Structure 1
């Protein structure tokens, strides 16, 4: 007879089997989502009434040249075969060449994406550092004038178009008051003296101990970061208030108050601690939205990020660049969703069951 492995060993095997199934399920979901993203970008590129061959060689090129270029680009093959080629190249990081810059699309994205990450990161930090305390304050003062003031402030930030705020901010703080620098990432005077290393200009300036360049970079980024951060703060503030209202009505809050704990400890040490678990997902999604939704802000401020790159590519019908940029943004969005899910499971032990 086979010996009984014991309840502890059986529980361990069951837990390992469950974890393996969760990892397999998560991997399958991510791969399916990414494949769907590839399919969407591919068919969008084929449905749009733009002939990439005509853009590349010109409308008046000889027929022989058009057919030769079409064959070189693989556009004369069946649609299913084109999709297989597209997926294979995309998996290898080959998105083709940009008609606008004549560079490989991936190289352009590597150069532009750090600017978007830098802007979105500062905006999200501002949104979280300001939005969470305001949301907590509004929940504690529920129904009072302070709550109404915070909700109005958040509603304005969530409703007013960001590009309109950008134009207004440039008019007031740059053109009239001169408190901030104008469009761009750095002054023209540093074009030949400042050397980008990582692509994150603030970090590069610190690494090179170029404090004049650091001041210039900060003067350029502060206004767009604050405006995007205002939008992020509005969303985080509203969600924090909602989560805190739900937590403040729980029985453990009543028990904590009955034990004589101070209101400060009850709110910030107990209620907010539990509300931070779903807030992790909110902040991650807000960060993803800023990464993909900073197109208008980058256009207004001439910020050389991925959003401006995609916009300029759209205006010149550079579909390789548009689809490559869209695919990268979608992949980042999927990755941040996966990261937020993992953090949620780490912070909340109940979700591991």
Structure 2
């Protein structure tokens, strides 16, 4: 009897796991198809003819017709979409008009710069934002709380491109504390050899400390601006989560047992608040990856955002749509990963 009960329980558990996996895969497929559908129809409604962008507006009609046939643009719309999805799934976004390289080749070259910038910005935002959020929650209603909230409000309200220009004027042009626009100085541009595409890591691997200092001096200013933007979001959410935890009964019980306030805050309240904070930090990271276009433009940072901007200005729609799909795919992946981590860290969500 007990064996049958155990077998039923295992079958039920396996059924639940299978349903969760199928649901997860279904969400991924539907979300990605939605992303492809949006980018496909954007590419068809913009007032830019991709064929003319490739062959030129003075090309003979026969050349234009041949190009349309070659790229499948003479097919019915639904057939074009099927071909578009097939190409996107294989990483084929065509060739860039500007560089004449395959779009994925260009993206593989520029995307590490964006990842490096967004990663450092997220680290700065999390390292400073979490303690500030905890401080604001613990000192609720005091001047410290008001200062943290104002700092976050400024981070939300002030346009990041304006902050970038001011930062360049002060820390680069006036004080000379950092290097200016770009990713690496001209003194190292032709002597430094990238390995992974992540310049800070490459400089460490090569033990080229002069190049490391130069690269760090270039990245610290734009990364700090992105970090400030991330800090505003993380500190606000940390404060909200901590206020919720500090009002729970287990905090009252911990104080009644005589535990120190420091231990209650950092070992108990923050530990429970850290579960939703994982999602917040992951979403902040994804936001910096997709939202660093203005920062990269201001600082001439050769990342994916600047690549998409230049492509858009030159009607290079293959590059624009390819970059958009890559960023959207990364955003979807990080969202799904944060959801998985949330469920792993919080046992209560596994039963839902």
Q: TM-score range by the shorter chain?
A: over 0.9
Aligned to 1:112: 110
Shift of 1:9: 2.9
Aligned to 1:181: 179
Q: 1:70 aligns with which of 68, 76, 88?
A: 68
Name the stretch that deviates more: 102-111 or 46-55.
Answer: 46-55
Q: Distance in 2 between matches of 1:11 and 1:183?
A: 61
Q: 2:20 aligns with which of 13, 19, 22?
A: 22
Aligned to 2:282: 284
Aligned to 1:218: 216
- Secondary structure of the residue that 1:178 maps to in structure 2? coil
Q: Distance in 2 between matches of 1:312 and 1:219?
A: 25
Work out whether 1:310 is the aligned partner of 2:298: no
Q: Distance in 2 between matches of 1:321 and 1:181?
A: 30
Aligned to 1:341: 339
Q: Distance in 2 between matches of 1:203 and 1:325?
A: 24
- Secondary structure of the residue that 2:59 maps to in structure 1? coil
Name the stretch that deviates more: 237-246 or 75-84.
Answer: 75-84
Residue correspondence of structure 1 range 17-166 to structure 2 within 5 A: 17-166=15-164
Q: Distance in 2 between matches of 1:163 and 1:192?
A: 29
Q: Deviations over 1:288-347 (max 9, x none)?
A: 000000000000000000000000000001000000000000000100011001100111
TM-score by length of 1: 0.98
Aligned pair count?
Answer: 351
TM-score by length of 2: 0.98
Residue correspondence of structure 1 range 224-235 to structure 2 within 5 A: 224-235=222-233
- Secondary structure of the residue that 1:186 maps to in structure 2? coil
Name the stretch that deviates more: 311-320 or 149-158.
Answer: 149-158
Q: Distance in 2 between matches of 1:11 and 1:123?
A: 47
- Secondary structure of the residue that 1:285 maps to in structure 2? helix
Name the stretch that deviates more: 333-342 or 48-57.
Answer: 48-57
Q: Distance in 2 between matches of 1:279 and 1:192?
A: 42
Q: Distance in 2 between matches of 1:237 and 1:8?
A: 47
Shift of 1:6: 3.2
User: Where does the alignment leave 5 or more consecutive residues of structure 1 unmatched?
Assistant: none
CA RMSD of aligned residues (A): 0.9
Aligned to 1:259: 257
Q: Distance in 2 between matches of 1:247 and 1:8?
A: 38
Q: Distance in 1 between matches of 2:334 and 2:234?
A: 16
- Secondary structure of the residue that 1:6 maps to in structure 2? helix
Shift of 1:4: 6.6
Aligned to 2:322: 324
Aligned to 1:195: 193
Q: Distance in 2 between matches of 1:244 and 1:21?
A: 34
Shift of 1:113: 0.5
Shift of 1:184: 0.6
